[in-house]
Copies of this chain bind each other. A is one copy, B any other.
């Protein structure tokens, strides 16, 4: 995993097989922060020769791996064709003095805006850099990678690095670089995509926030209701203490209610949307925003409904494991012996439970098939007709 992968030639403009003179290819880094240092560490380990440009090389040299050269910015820029710009957006303009030396080179923008910057500025950092240095080719890359992942090498989680640029050749060069560093470059198009690429590390499960809060709220509501009905009321009215039901029984009766309500919320927006289209008489106008958001969150709501149903199944299967279940059974047998001594059987109760359990298992089995098709890799292997077919199963 970590062995030096010396990508001997980076820029291969004439397509020939000539080797670069200096052995390992040179890569420049502008910046001396945490990210710059981790980047230098990773590049050195991947077999590159790294030149770091600093405004004060003497002071900062100690922070970098010893194999990396730390020199003045102008010098670093001169000796390498690919230069990582690892400085904050507000300091981009401070690099303008180097624009002469930078002309014709590839600048890799690795920066990440804060959430506020991203929303206020509406222009990506990469496009701003491209505007400042019109003679350079700007490539947006590596911004989704943390300093920690860079330093330790890609191991778990996502190895994909979205790369975008207006210049295919520059994109290819940076892709090879990413390959050599152990990441998987993903071409996401022209530099106009940089705004969206810079938004990626800001997300924290954006599509899950509302559905999860909704499910929690529903659970609290139903738990309170069942608590009152099954525990508090018997205690107040008849003085029976059934508080032992709090951790398991009450949770278990609340879960299917949550699951049912969530499942109905999966279908409701589709019905509303169809009604709206019929009323408007066209399918080519946009839905109101609230309905659009609702439609987009159906998958998440459906998966939470499945999660509640699965938990309910688990809890139900734990019921006979309880000591209280065992005591109840023994006491029932005791009562039967002491009072009427006859065979115990109520046909109606038996049937009700058998049918309920059988349908429950079937429903859970079907829901788990649906949940499996929500996995990205399965969804990608289905065509549109198959995906619709599976999704329509939810209706029945």
Within 355-388 of A, Cβ neighbours of B (below 8 Å) are at: 355, 357-361, 364-365, 369, 375-388
Q: How large is the interface on A (under 10, 10 to 19, 20 to 34, 35 or more residues)?
A: 35 or more
A58 close to chain B: CB less than 8 A: no
Within 1-53 of A, Cβ neighbours of B (below 8 Å) are at: 1, 3, 5-9, 12, 15, 17, 37, 41
Docked complex Cα distance between A149 and B385 (Å): 12
Contacts of A137 in B (CB 8 A): 17
Report yes or no: A330 in contact with B324, Cβ–Cβ below 8 A.
no
| Contact stretch, chosen from A73-81, A82-90, A188-196, A224-232 | A188-196
A residues in contact (CB < 8 Å) with B: 1, 3, 5-9, 12, 15, 17, 37, 41, 63, 65, 130, 134, 137, 144-146, 149, 151-152, 155-160, 166-169, 172, 175-176, 179-180, 187-190, 192-193, 195-196, 200-205, 244-249, 251, 283-284, 295-296, 299, 307, 310-311, 313-324, 326-327, 329-334, 336-338, 341, 343-347, 349-355, 357-361, 364-365, 369, 375-389, 391
Contacts of A381 in B (CB 8 A): 158, 376
Docked complex Cα distance between A359 and B318 (Å): 11
Report yes or no: B344 in contact with A334, Cβ–Cβ below 8 A.
yes
Contacts of A384 in B (CB 8 A): 144-146, 149, 157-158, 201
Report yes or no: A354 in contact with B157, Cβ–Cβ below 8 A.
no
From B157, B188, B313, B344, contact of A330 by CB (8 A): B344
Which residue, of A168, A179, A341, has the highest number of chain B Cβ atoms within 10 A?
A179
Report yes or no: A179 in contact with B168, Cβ–Cβ below 8 A.
no
With A8-B192, A322-B357 already in contact, 18 other A-B pairs whose C-beta atoms are closer than 8 Å: A9-B166, A17-B137, A157-B382, A157-B384, A158-B381, A168-B172, A175-B187, A200-B383, A204-B386, A205-B386, A205-B389, A249-B354, A251-B358, A310-B365, A323-B352, A324-B354, A337-B338, A376-B380
Report yes or no: B157 in contact with A387, Cβ–Cβ below 8 A.
yes
Q: Would you give 9 A-B contacts (Cβ < 8 Å), ordered by A?
A: A5-B196, A7-B190, A15-B168, A37-B284, A152-B295, A176-B190, A244-B354, A330-B344, A376-B377
From B320, B337, B349, B389, contact of A334 by CB (8 A): B337
Docked complex Cα distance between A344 and B325 (Å): 11
Report yes or no: A17 in contact with B251, Cβ–Cβ below 8 A.
no
Docked complex Cα distance between A337 and B353 (Å): 28
Contacts of A351 in B (CB 8 A): 244
Report yes or no: B247 in contact with A311, Cβ–Cβ below 8 A.
no
Report yes or no: B151 in contact with A283, Cβ–Cβ below 8 A.
yes
Give min CB distance, A23 to chain B, whole Å.
12
Report yes or no: B319 in contact with A383, Cβ–Cβ below 8 A.
no
Which residue, of A15, A146, A283, A376, has the highest number of chain B Cβ atoms within 10 A?
A376
Report yes or no: B338 in contact with A334, Cβ–Cβ below 8 A.
no
Report yes or no: A3 in contact with B379, Cβ–Cβ below 8 A.
no
Contacts of A324 in B (CB 8 A): 350, 353-354
Docked complex Cα distance between A292 and B158 (Å): 19
Report yes or no: B333 in contact with A334, Cβ–Cβ below 8 A.
yes
Which residue, of A320, A382, A383, A388, has the highest number of chain B Cβ atoms within 10 A?
A383
When C-beta atoms are compared, the residue in chain B nearest to A314 turns out to be: B361
Report yes or no: A160 in contact with B380, Cβ–Cβ below 8 A.
yes
Contacts of A251 in B (CB 8 A): 358
Report yes or no: B337 in contact with A323, Cβ–Cβ below 8 A.
no
Give min CB distance, A45 to chain B, whole Å.
9
